[in-house]
Structure 1
Amino acid sequence: MRRFLLLLMVFPLYGYAGSAVLKQSLWAKASQLAGVHPNTLYGIALQETGMRWHDRTFRPWPWTIYVNKGGAGIKSGPYRYPTKEAAVKALTVMLDQGVTNIDVGLMQVNLRWNGHRVRDKKLLIDPSVNIMVAAGILKDVHVGNGLRQAVARYHSFNAGRGAAYSTKVKRYETILDEKFE
């Protein structure tokens, strides 16, 4: 059952049931919390951790950690792990060595700025927790801002970086809208 739920959460961008699946999944629940369309949330996931899978689909990879600022022998950059357990183990090592400026999981929740949103930072490896935390972040930055600005601020409060990010997410939303609506 858990594998089926994970498949619902990370359906292929090309070649599956599309937005209908999003509307019946955790993506829909999270998007209601954030006040956005499920395609927006999924577009963020694609921008953050999207990759080409062995079946040639392009989907987010949930066991991703991005080290923004390394230290203690841990280099900056992306790390993709084959399993949840491997990602949790790696995250534990990073945290134990004092590396905290890292983005975790499907939606790349930054521990430095948003680690306070979970009681145990390792919970962010779980896709369902990660998506709901990301929705909470998006909700917080959406208040008083339009959707494009909220998506930009999900990534960065630097106007230029945020705008470029928002444009990339919008591209994924457009693909999802055209392909599946």
Structure 2
Amino acid sequence: MRAAAVLLACALLPMQAWAAEGSIGRWTTALYAPPSPRAVAPRALPAEAACIDAILEAEREAGVADHMLLAMGFTEAGRRTPDKLFTVWPWTVNTEGQSHYFPTRDDAIAFVRAAQARGTRSIDVGCLQVNLKWHPDAFPDLETAFEPRANARYAARFLGELRRAHGTLDDAVARYHSAQSERGAAYRQRVVGNMRWTAHAIDYLRTLAAGPRAATAAAGAPVWGKAELGRLSFLSSLYAGGPARPLLPAGAP
């Protein structure tokens, strides 16, 4: 995320329209109130599920149709894990145009602090890659910046600000990445491609976001059962072999 500027609420045109025209969609006028925070604490989820669940929640709160924010997540921090699951990875950091994927939040935070100590200021973090230089007041600390729901909610609010400042959702999505027209337009087209993929794979993504069924845990974190992980890997491979694949960032494994 590279730009600046109070809320997201959109109802996109049918997929045939934006796919044909390369357009993101349009906005409703009914959902400009800030999303209310959840009263309950978020569920503990494996890293593979955390961003997907958080982005789906942010979309419901903000009234986003056709999973546009989810498509942006894949464009910003998508990866294929060693278990062959396509997902949005919460412990992603981008510096100098290169995405880095870490096994834990602590590892990601340590990398960011080391980069800042070297003088690097433009650093993108988390599910929607919020830039710490251009959004210094977005989060109270790095721990919150990497919290998937906080990251996704802030991204939704920021995109809404861009929409209101620049008039169209197409411009807002482009400027989320860059104020430079060519770079922004290229990013918007990648998001449109990922909207096609998320529409195709939404059942798999919702299954992933639901997290493990069993109450198994390792070091206090929920883990997938062998059968669940096998089913998810199978579903992911089905959609990877379909007519479209997610368009992932440079350097994504």
Tell me the matched-pair count. Answer: 160
CA distance in 2: counterparts of 1:92 and 1:122, whole angstroms: 12
Residue by residue over 1:55-102, the C-alpha shift from the partner in whole angstroms, topping out at 9 and shown as x without a partner, is 22221111111112xxxxxxx632211101111122222223332111
Q: Of 117, 121, 130, which aligns to 1:109?
A: 130
Structure with bigger helix share is 1
Is the contact between residue 62 and residue 125 of structure 1 (CA under 8 Å) also seen in structure 2?
Answer: yes
The structure that has the greater radius of gyration is 2
Amino acid at match of 1:145: G
Residue by residue over 1:129-153, the C-alpha shift from the partner in whole angstroms, topping out at 9 and shown as x without a partner, is 2111111211111114222221111
Q: CA deviation at 1:113?
A: 0.7
Q: CA RMSD in A?
A: 2.3
Q: CA deviation at 1:26?
A: 3.3
Number of the residue aligned with 2:221: none
CA distance in 1: counterparts of 2:200 and 2:63, whole angstroms: 21
The question of 1:2 aligning with 2:23 is answered no
Q: Of 119, 127, 133, which aligns to 2:148?
A: 127
- Stretches of structure 1 that go unaligned for 5 or more consecutive residues are 12-24, 69-75
Amino acid at match of 1:42: L
Q: Aligned runs of 1:145-164 on 2, under 5 Å?
A: 145-164=167-186
CA distance in 1: counterparts of 2:104 and 2:49, whole angstroms: 17
Runs of 4 or more above 4 Å deviation: 32-35
Q: CA deviation at 1:33?
A: 5.7
The percent of aligned pairs where both chains have the same amino acid is: 29
Residue by residue over 1:1-20, the C-alpha shift from the partner in whole angstroms, topping out at 9 and shown as x without a partner, is 4126x554445xxxxxxxxx
Is the contact between residue 76 and residue 128 of structure 2 (CA under 8 Å) also seen in structure 1?
Answer: yes
Other structure's SS at 1:160 match: helix
Q: Of 20, 31, 37, which aligns to 2:65?
A: 37
Other structure's SS at 1:100 match: coil
Q: CA deviation at 1:44?
A: 0.7
Q: CA deviation at 1:178?
A: 3.4
Number of the residue aligned with 1:98: 119
Q: Aligned runs of 1:161-176 on 2, under 5 Å?
A: 161-176=183-198
Residue by residue over 1:114-168, the C-alpha shift from the partner in whole angstroms, topping out at 9 and shown as x without a partner, is 1222222442122122111111211111114222221111111111111110110
TM-score, normalised relative to structure 1: 0.76
Number of the residue aligned with 2:246: none
Amino acid at match of 2:105: K
Number of the residue aligned with 1:82: 103
Q: Higher relative CO (CA 8 A, sep ≥ 6), structure 1 or 2?
A: 2
Q: Of 46, 49, 64, which aligns to 2:92?
A: 64
TM-score, normalised relative to structure 2: 0.56
Other structure's SS at 2:135 match: helix
CA distance in 2: counterparts of 1:9 and 1:145, whole angstroms: 32
Q: Of 199, 207, 219, which aligns to 1:177?
A: 199
Is the contact between residue 106 and residue 127 of structure 1 (CA under 8 Å) also seen in structure 2?
Answer: yes
Other structure's SS at 1:54 match: coil
Q: Which moved more, 1:45-54 or 1:116-125?
A: 116-125
Is the contact between residue 66 and residue 199 of structure 2 (CA under 8 Å) also seen in structure 1?
Answer: no
